[in-house]
Amino acid sequence: MDKFIDKSTFLAALHDGQSIMVGGFMAVGTPEMFIDWIVESNVKDLTIICNDAGFEHRGVGKLIANNQVKKLIASHIGLNPDAGKKMSQGALTIELVPQGTLAEQIRAHGAGLGGILTPTGIKTIVEENKQKIIVNDQAYLLEVALGADLALIEARTSDAYGNLVYDKTARNFNPIMATAAKHVFAYVHHVVKQLDPEIVVTPHIFIDGIVQKEANHD
Amino acid sequence: MINPKAIIAARVAKELSDGDLVNLGIGLPTLVANYIPETMNVFLQSENGLIGLGPTPTDAQIDKNLTNAGAQYVTLKDGGMFFDSATSFGIIRGGHVDVTVLGALEVDQEGSLASWIIPGKLVPGMGGAMDLVVGAKKVIVATTHTNKGKPKIKKRCELPLTAYQEVDMIVTEMAVIEVRSDGLHLMERHPDVSIETIIEQTDAALIIGDVKIMEV
């Protein structure tokens, strides 16, 4: 049994109006080849969930530059002026979320929880239109779970089952996003016959398709 | 003053203790690392998923998958490790970070901080700042005293807040200020700056007691 997929299988999974989680932090740990394939597919009106807006020519910034994104849910857009410009022109909706809240909303979805209670954002504009819950005299915001149609992640090493190990700070959002989407595709740099079961970070049951770097994809 | 940022970074570094887990924000706070004595074991965390941040790499040492939260290349010290973003913010929100150092657009006399948005002008986003300020045991704002002469230490923040009443200390090139329940206490002044000048350049009310000279 293996989960290797080719480019046509990947492209067939893309649709207008989809929500897509993309791993990476300022494009470190972002599966750039998947991004390039989405650009090539030209699907539209996407909701992208990513830590940040990447850069104009790197990471999810390439999808914003190609006008494929309707809404971006992220914690930071500061290194991509194009995203800020499109937001002020009304061409792109951006929902800014505290980074820890974003991570926990995604983790909650993957773990079957309805949401989480966090003190982050209390008495700031982040609390607008959200339910406040008092636990042991402390105020928390109810932040609801966040899932997606598709999650695109990058890992250093996989076995044929799709057990994954990451690389340094390229890990970031990848392991939690792997748990929180209907379909999860992993771009991996190396494939080995066997991984030490003690060091697996993402169990293979979360992974639906693997694309290996430098395999022949056409 | 020759280099305000160096003065601020050096003074903030004196607040750190052996064994502390510390998060340094992007920009000026990052410079604090240069002033931590080599004999002191301070563990630097970066919210993109590591503890054990080391010095800037040489060109030959650069690994593109080893960066800080500002997307700069870094190195990892002995004992360092990596983790995912949920674990990273569990560490941050869970009260496991001893000190967080970050910049400010405005900070006020109640210890509230504004640092992530100027509506209609600049919208970088809050990144991890809201979680850090809420979760860290000690919050130090490291900032120039004014923005080109315009006070940044205000009676009340006018910009949207990063967090409400969470700041413990403000370090500028002119002064060290502690935030207490009764207001802002001027603790230290730069040797070249008078108390009168500090009062003049601060919008917030300052409580003046025994003001020491900043070691610079």
Residue spans of the domains in chain B: they are 4-213
Cα gap B140→A15, rounded to integer Å: 47
Over residues A167-178, the pLDDT tens digits come to 999 999 999 999
Contact A51 B164 (CB under 8 A): no
pTM for this prediction: 0.97
What CATH number is associated with residue A18?
Answer: 3.40.1080.10
* Per-residue model confidence (pLDDT) at position A216: 66
Q: In the block, which residue shows the tokens 């500061």?
A: A78
Maximum Cα–Cα distance across chain A = 59
Q: Which residues of A touch B67 (CB under 8 A)?
A: 25-26, 28, 169
CB atoms within 10 A of CB A209: 17
Fold of B4-213: Glutaconate Coenzyme A-transferase (3.40.1080)
The answer to the question of residue A136 being in a domain is no
Over residues A78-135, the pLDDT tens digits come to 999 999 999 999 999 999 999 999 999 999 999 999 999 999 999 999 999 999 999 9
What mean pLDDT value characterizes chain B?
96
Contact B85 A172 (CB under 8 A): yes
How deeply is B12 buried, as exposed, middle or buried, from its count of CB atoms within 10 A (0-12, 13-18, 19+)? buried
How deeply is A212 buried, as exposed, middle or buried, from its count of CB atoms within 10 A (0-12, 13-18, 19+)? middle
Cα gap B56→A80, rounded to integer Å: 24
Contact A124 B161 (CB under 8 A): yes
The shortest CB-CB distance from B67 to any of A28, A78, A103 is to: A28
Over residues A142-158, the pLDDT tens digits come to 999 999 999 999 999 99
The helix (run of H) or strand (run of E) holding residue A152 is strand A148-158
* Per-residue model confidence (pLDDT) at position A43: 98
Report whether pLDDT(B22) > 80.
Answer: yes
Q: With contact defined as beta carbons under 8 Å apart, do B156 and A110 qualify? A: no
The 3-state DSSP class for residue B62 equals coil
* Per-residue model confidence (pLDDT) at position A218: 57
**Number of domains forming the structure of chain A:** 1
At a CB cut-off of 8 Å and minimum separation 6, what does B56 contact? B72, B73, B74, B75
* Per-residue model confidence (pLDDT) at position A77: 96
The shortest CB-CB distance from A75 to any of B63, B128, B162 is to: B128
Q: Which residue of B has its CA nearest to A30?
A: B65
The answer to the question of residue A48 being in a domain is yes
Q: Which residue of A has its CA nearest to B129?
A: A98
The answer to the question of residue A101 being in a domain is yes
Kindly state the percentage of chain A with pLDDT values over 90. Answer: 97
The answer to the question of residue A118 being in a domain is no
Q: Which domain holds residue A44?
A: 7-112+145-212
Sort residue A103 into left (φ over 0), alpha (ψ -120 to 50) or beta.
Answer: alpha
Contact B50 A122 (CB under 8 A): no
* Per-residue model confidence (pLDDT) at position A217: 67
What one-character DSSP code corresponds to residue A166?
-
Over residues B93-131, the pLDDT tens digits come to 999 999 999 999 999 999 999 999 999 888 999 999 999
The answer to the question of residue A123 being in a domain is no
